[in-house]
Amino acid sequence: MPKTYCPNCDAVVSIDNPRVGGMVTCRECGARLEIVSSSPFEVDFPLEEDEWEDEWEDEWEWEDEEEG
């Protein structure tokens, strides 16, 4: 049985007849993984059109303090 490793938790993921584009669920962490290659068997996180959260924060506050 082809097997590979979960990209999320590194547990062994195996499936009888992997088909590219199919989904497999990791038994260990429950992550849904997309089969990106059947030979060799490889899985990856599915590309979801979810929100890609921006981690750019641009909130500098400048205060003018004049002491006099």
- Residue 53 C-beta: closest distance to Zn ion, Å: 22
How far apart are the C-alpha atoms of 65 and 67, rounded to whole Å? Answer: 6
Kindly state the smallest distance separating residue 47's Cβ from Zn ion, in Å.
Answer: 18
- CA-based radius of gyration for the chain: 22
Query: Residue 32: CB partners within 8 Å, gap ≥ 6?
Result: 23, 24, 25, 46
Using CB under 5 A, list all residues that contact Zn ion.
6, 8-9, 11, 26, 28-29, 31
Q: Which is nearer to Zn ion, 25 or 37 (CB)?
A: 25
**Which of residues 20 and 29 has its CB atom nearest to Zn ion in the complex?**
29
